[in-house]
Amino acid sequence: MNIPAKKTLPRLSVAGTLCVAVILLASGCATVKSPLRESLNSPVPEVQACASWYKALDHAVDDAKVRDAEDFRIPGFPYLRTDRFLASFRTTAADNSATFDAWVTHLEALDTTARRYEIANLPPAAFPIRDVPDPRAALVRTQTCAARLARTDLDSPDRRALLVARAVVPDAYSSWKRVVGLYALTRYPFMKGVEGWHEQAREMFRDARAGTRTSAPLIRHHAVGPSVTPDRIASIFSGLQVDALGIPKLDAAERETLLDAYAPVYDIETGGPYDRFGTLVWQGHEAPDVDVDRPVVYRRLAFTQFHGRSLIQLVYTVWFSERPKSHAIDLLAGRLDGVVFRVTLGPDGLPLVYDTIHPCGCYHMFFPTDRVTPLPPPESGMEWAFIPVTLPAIGAAQPVVVRIASRTHYVVDVHTLDGPDAGAPYRFAAANELRAMPLGDDRTRSAFGPDGIVPGTNRMEHLLFWPMGIDDSGAMRQWGNHATAFIGRRHFEDADLIEKRFALR
């Protein structure tokens, strides 16, 4: 659903432009507080009815606890959501009608996708909602009302200015916890702990590369999918089109091709069933279970800003059933574990930087190729970019090998493919499948709670780590909710994460 194609939205007036500045400084223009509230009182029946529909739908979604937390709901604009990447365009979007239209189209798409999963996850008892009898009709009503409210709101310079001001994703840190936890002082011993982990990780990488790791049997896993040639990558990027914001436009086939081309090979130290990855399923427990008989890598395509360009990122996630206890009181153990591995492609389609986290946001590591130069942190005493190893230039459609330790599932090496990728095969699934997983009886449930956390995956570490300001640290999280630093503020999905840390050679 987009704003009608034949209608070009007006540029912000002088008053509207001033309103943007005022809102950015004071969090609101006096003339517009809540577009939704105004629409609820609109003299136009269709506008009032659509505003009432969104109010009723949101009430049903929240009452059923099926809110999707991947993207940020923009206050006052119930048909728009944003993420950190799109939020980075908000001032650029206000420049002219073309950029604003393109930006709003992306915001609409995020909300449409989220609404589809929220509506699908509603229990049958939630219907009818007002006069809407079932999920299919609810989705149609939502799309119709989104278009109607967009026409009303975005014809107004004041409301456009308010949208630009409010399309900001809050960070994932609790400032009050940092204050109460005396973060200004406690950060120093925590930093010592981070530095200790970095040294431990470097040692694991050295041992892996030297062949001296004492580990469980190593099992190689490779993707099942069509092979992709370097020429195919070159053809995609030589003809790559961008929208008015400069965001690459890829069709479905091109997306699949890129995700196939750079799918990692996994070397996993396998000491038990907890080291076998698979498909997330609901089997009656608080947290999802892992069906290891169906080894699957969940994948998504994302974007990042990089020194004036929007670059494509390919994200791959494997899920394990648990991180087992290593001793009686293991603060890091718990249900579900995983590894998220990301490839950032340059403008030519060749890899620039790899990075990885666990789905808790923990253990963030960067693996730059020699096509980029690391940049120093803006100040000392913060988590910036831990780089255990640097990789050589990686060719088009050339996968890398990710080695994963037994039990802890730490990434202990990343290197170019050193032989045949033959081994245990895995298949792909779209990461979005986790937002509505089958429950049986034609019902679905998200793997994630309304807070973006996988239920039942809490770790005891949060009892000690809360002064760093991360809620429920150690628990598994949904995309869009990954704080990755205890010292400082950093998110895996930050639009400027890569460009702040690396420059092209």
C-alpha separations of 504 from 100, 241, 449 in Å:
30, 22, 39
φ/ψ of residue 270, rounded to 5: -115, 100
Task: Look at strands 437-440 and 296-306 and give their pairing.
Answer: unpaired
Give the residues of the chain that fall short of pLDDT 70: 1-32, 420
Q: For residue 291, tell me if it sits in a domain.
A: yes
Q: Are residues 138 and 198 in the same domain?
A: no
Q: Are residues 162 and 187 in the same domain?
A: no
Question: And the tokens for 273?
Answer: 């069933």
Would you list the DSSP string of 242-302? Answer: E-TT--EE--HHHHHHHHHHTPPEEEEE-SSGGG-B-EEE-SSSSSPEEETTS-EEEEEEE
pLDDT (0 to 100) of residue 422: 75
Q: For residue 412, tell me if it sits in a domain.
A: yes
In terms of residue numbers, what domain contains 370?
175-504
Other Cβ atoms within 10 Å of 425 Cβ, number: 12
pLDDT (0 to 100) of residue 441: 83
Q: For residue 6, tell me if it sits in a domain.
A: no
Q: How far apart are CA 2 and CA 13, in angstroms?
A: 23
Q: Are residues 149 and 240 in the same domain?
A: no
Q: Which of 443, 494, 488 is nearest to 124 (CA)?
A: 443
Mean pLDDT, the chain, whole residue set: 92
pLDDT (0 to 100) of residue 32: 53
Q: Which of 120, 139, 166 is the last residue of a domain?
A: 166
Q: Are residues 179 and 99 in the same domain?
A: no
pLDDT (0 to 100) of residue 336: 98
What is the count of structural domains for the chain? 2
Q: Are residues 86 and 222 in the same domain?
A: no
Q: Are residues 179 and 156 in the same domain?
A: no
pLDDT (0 to 100) of residue 215: 76
CA dihedral for 463, 465, 468, 473, sign (positive or negative):
negative
pLDDT in tens, 146-171: 999 999 999 999 999 999 999 999 99
Q: For residue 82, tell me if it sits in a domain.
A: yes
pLDDT (0 to 100) of residue 102: 96
C-alpha separations of 447 from 114, 314, 381, 435 in Å:
14, 21, 36, 6
pLDDT (0 to 100) of residue 29: 42
pLDDT (0 to 100) of residue 45: 95
Looking at the whole model, is its pTM more than 0.85? Answer: yes
Q: For residue 8, tell me if it sits in a domain.
A: no
Question: And the tokens for 499?
Answer: 């460009």
